[in-house]
Structure 1
Amino acid sequence: MDSVATAVNTSNINCTVEKYAEGVRQANEALRDLLILVNMPDFEDHDGWKQKSSNETDVVYSKRFSMGKVFTMRTVFNFPLEQAFVEHWENFADIIHYNKNISAIKIIASPSANTDVVYVNILNA
């Protein structure tokens, strides 16, 4: 199974509302860091990662990086990945019904077609 992202065009992820510009810039940096991480040779085979938990369908790994501890989960979806992405994007606020650690979630603004500013209250955080 391959999960390599080779490139992303973040030039069109612009913020039309100035008050969110810094947050969007930080999100773009985080996305670049993520793409670097998932393209590392040890990411796919989890060389140097610690297995944290597993069950019949999921395996969770962790590894410490300069940005902090990173977790990744390997699982099998029985539906198209594009469908999962669309469901997550279009029904993002519904995550509160599936994640017991979230007590509140709200989309505050949508400064561009592919950018949402969200408020998430995580319990015990």
Structure 2
Amino acid sequence: MMDDTDQAINRGKKIVQETINVGADTAAALKEQTEQMSRIVNELDSIHFSIKKASQVVKEISRQVATDRCILAMLFLIVIGVIAIIIVKIVNPNNKDISDIPGLAPPVNRKLLWDLRN
């Protein structure tokens, strides 16, 4: 009976030692996974910062595009105005009086100060 008890105690000691070894391996794996999670969190923070920066760049580019479109619209209106003036001159080449050009106000007759003395 004593031998059976000694064998049971030895088996218990082996089980305890195996449990300690498994616990140590588990603790090492857990530490490694914790470090890996920390690296992943750092990478996610870096990615979030990059996305935020990229979003600001996209907003800036879209503002520049909107400004460019406004400038192009103004240039288009100027070109249309110049073409309209050219067409009016082609249609009526002898037109020297600005009051004959459709859409424009008649000129104002002003007298200069030195003309008033005469």
Q: Same fold (TM over 0.5)?
A: no
In terms of fraction of residues, the more helix-rich structure is 2
Q: Of the two, which has the highest radius of gyration?
A: 2
Indicate the structure with greater strand content.
1
TM-score, normalising length: structure 1: 0.26
**Higher RCO, 1 vs 2 (CA within 8 Å, ≥6 residues apart):** 1
